[in-house]
Amino acid sequence: MEKKFQALPEDVQQAMIEAGKAAEKSACEFVDSDEAASRKLAEAAGVEITEVGDELRAQLDAKLGSVAADWAAGLDKQGRPGTQTLEAYKAALAN
């Protein structure tokens, strides 16, 4: 798929990148705005919602850290920025 993208004219690539950014922003805004309603709907259906505090998050990170590292390494082997993407994701979560 990357080869096909690279074969497109520069202006088409840029248009696709910008459209992707706009779609991502729109999707995130929708999820953010719908979160409270979705939570109420889930609770009404009997779903128990667990808040993830610092202690639980640390436990999950310790158990799942190797999964993320393996994912990133797999992408790195394909010539894709797996580790860079993972680090950016972690940085975004920290903010």
pLDDT in tens, 63-87: 988 999 999 999 999 999 999 999 9
What is the per-residue pLDDT for 47? Answer: 95
Question: Where along the chain do its domains lie?
Answer: 1-49, 50-95
- 9: DSSP letter: -
- For 82, other C-beta atoms within 10 Å of its C-beta total 19
Which of 89, 57, 53, 83 shows the shortest CA–CA distance to 69? Answer: 83
What is the per-residue pLDDT for 35? Answer: 86
Give the chain's residues under pLDDT 50. Answer: none
pTM: 0.48
Residues 6+ apart with CB under 8 A from 82: 71, 72, 73, 74, 75, 76
What is the per-residue pLDDT for 25? Answer: 94
What is the per-residue pLDDT for 78? Answer: 96
Tokens in use for 29? 């805004």
On whether the CB atoms of residues 22 and 33 are closer than 8 A, the answer is no
What is the per-residue pLDDT for 83? Answer: 96
